[in-house]
């Protein structure tokens, strides 16, 4: 279980960093996606901050599992918001699926981290 916790936490941290940094930099591709979803520039930047913070929390959560629990739950909630925005925008299931899978991975991290405590 410990190896699974480390691997899933590390992969999810990489995903969160990869999603958050372009939002912080306001790259054009992610800016177009934000417009499509109806997300303001300020909220989009805050989501990027949350994603980068999640990447840090997931990484540190490997060494301190209680932080992994909290961060896993936070990422799950963030992805629930993402699913809501995709549904509101009328996106197909294929566009919503990555957020759902990320939420599932975040729940797995939270549960595995709780087992480490």
Q: pLDDT tens digits for the chain (117 residues)?
A: 899 999 999 999 999 999 999 999 988 888 899 999 999 999 999 999 999 999 999 999 999 999 999 999 999 999 999 999 999 999 999 999 999 999 999 999 999 999 999
Burial of 93 (0-12, 13-18, 19+ CB in 10 A): exposed
Among 35, 36, 30, 60, smallest CA distance to 48 is for 30
Residue 113's pLDDT is 98
Q: What whole-number distance in Å separates Cα of residue 28 and Cα of residue 89? A: 19
Give the pTM: 0.94
Residue 27's pLDDT is 86
Q: Do residues 95 and 83 lie in contact, with contact meaning Cβ atoms separated by under 8 Å? A: no
Q: Do residues 96 and 33 lie in contact, with contact meaning Cβ atoms separated by under 8 Å? A: no
Q: What whole-number distance in Å separates Cα of residue 27 and Cα of residue 104? A: 27
Q: What whole-number distance in Å separates Cα of residue 98 and Cα of residue 104? A: 10
């Amino acid at each position: 279980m410990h190896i699974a916790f480390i691997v899933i936490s590390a992969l999810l941290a990489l995903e969160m960093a990869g999603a958050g940094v372009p939002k912080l930099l306001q790259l054009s591709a992610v800016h177009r996606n934000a417009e499509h979803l109806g997300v303001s520039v300020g909220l989009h930047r805050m989501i990027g901050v949350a994603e980068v913070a999640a990447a840090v929390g997931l990484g540190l959560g490997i060494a301190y599992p209680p932080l992994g629990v909290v961060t896993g739950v936070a990422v799950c909630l963030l992805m629930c918001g993402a699913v809501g925005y995709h549904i509101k925008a009328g996106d197909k299931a294929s566009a919503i699926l990555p957020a759902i899978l990320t939420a599932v991975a975040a729940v797995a991290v939270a549960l595995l981290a709780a087992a480490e405590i």
